[in-house]
Amino acid sequence: MTETYEFTLLVAGADVQTDEALNALAEASCDDATVGSSGGVQHLDFDREASSYLAAVLSAVDDVETAVPGVRVVRVLPDEYVTLAEIAQRTARTRESVRLLSIGERGPGEFPPPAARGAERNKLWRWAEVASWFASALGEPVHLAPPPAQRAANAILDLRASTAELGRAELSQVRQELGSLGRRVRLIEMASPASLDAKDARWSHADSA
Amino acid sequence: MLTPPELNQQFSSPAERAAAQAELQRLGEFLREVVAAASGTAPVPGWLAAELQRPLHGHSEPPGERLARYHTVFGDELHALDDVLSSETENRLDDDSLRAARYLARRLLATLLDCPPSEVSHRLPARPG
């Protein structure tokens, strides 16, 4: 089952707004992105359909970097700005509940004003301000950090970028840590009840065949 | 459920963690005997021979065939667990990995013994062999 995920990739290096680059991006499955620039930073705003957030982001990173030689994806947003839908997800509420809080028709009022984009559908809030309001106005402690999948995506991009600047000894250390991390992830993946239930079904099915 | 139960809970004391590590070691030794027997590098131990004789889901299957099938279906998991147990840094296993490995070991043996994971420890003999 797939869903559509909204996110923005910040990119550095080559210009992605030339006609040649835009054509290449379109041909490389990036026709679900809008290319722009703000304050000298180039960005691609995606609405990408995928099986998970991480799958959507990593496939977009791959598509962008394959399409335009010399471009590097450096960050996934939003990690600071959030839509009403994202606030709802992060606070485990419905979107309607958050909308009512945001316009003061529910809760104690004084919800933080939107920080960017005026159009109703695309309003953005600073997550730090919203999280602080949930804690002080509603007494609901909310994690300030972005969701785990987004943190993972940015961690991968950060690590990838930093390895180009590390010395040989540090690279060796990183490689060892990645090996250890890979084994840890594999173990947790295999020990998931869903994965083991599927294996048990295979075991039982073959047994009764 | 996507991740093993209680994966992100901290152990409440060093003793609880040590008990989890001891349980993992014990279950791991039984699973190593299963792998060795399935691979033909060691004879089938008594406890396993007895288990393989029991009908599974209402009908019997030749013990050798059942053992080989188990090894085929769960080979990746058995190998991953052996990696964890063989690792020189085993004492540095973080809490998440220890919980995941223990849960995996319980589930693998529960399937083999056809019992709930919570009963695995009681169904096994005191020591492997």
- Least confident range of A26-40, A112-126, A157-171: A112-126
Same domain assignment for residues A10 and A50: yes
The structural domain count of chain B equals 1
CA distance B121 to B127: 11
Same domain assignment for residues A101 and A43: no
A180 contact B CB<8A: yes
Asked whether residue B79 is domain-assigned, the answer is yes
CA distance B17 to chain A (A): 18
| CB pair distance less than 8 Å for B77 and A202 | no
> Tens digit of pLDDT for each residue in B5-59?
777 677 888 899 999 999 999 999 999 999 999 999 999 999 999 999 888 777 7
> Considering only CA atoms, which of B77, B65, B31 is closest in space to residue A196?
B77
Structural domain that includes position B30: 14-123
> Considering only CA atoms, which of A75, A78, A62 is closest in space to residue A155?
A75
Asked whether residue B3 is domain-assigned, the answer is no
Structural domain that includes position A209: 171-209
A187 contact B CB<8A: yes
Asked whether residue A127 is domain-assigned, the answer is yes
The structural domain count of chain A equals 3
CB B59 within 8 A of CB A209: no
Name the domain boundary from A77, A107, A122. A77
pTM higher than 0.80 for the full model? Answer: no
Same domain assignment for residues A91 and A124: yes
Report residue B23: phi and psi, to 5°: -65, -40
Same domain assignment for residues A62 and A105: no
| Identity at A175, one-letter amino acid code | R
| CB pair distance less than 8 Å for A191 and B70 | no
Strand, helix or coil at B86? helix
Name the domain boundary from A43, A77, A111. A77
CA distance A174 to A176: 5
Asked whether residue B128 is domain-assigned, the answer is no
Q: Report pLDDT for B40.
A: 92
CB A194 within 8 A of CB B2: yes
| Identity at B88, one-letter amino acid code | E
Asked whether residue A123 is domain-assigned, the answer is yes
Report residue A31: phi and psi, to 5°: -75, 0
Asked whether residue A147 is domain-assigned, the answer is no
Distance from chain centroid for Cα A90: 13
Same domain assignment for residues A22 and A69: yes
Name the domain boundary from A77, A108, A130. A77
Q: What is the ipTM of this complex?
A: 0.85
Asked whether residue A129 is domain-assigned, the answer is yes
* Token pair for B101: 């490995």
Asked whether residue A163 is domain-assigned, the answer is no
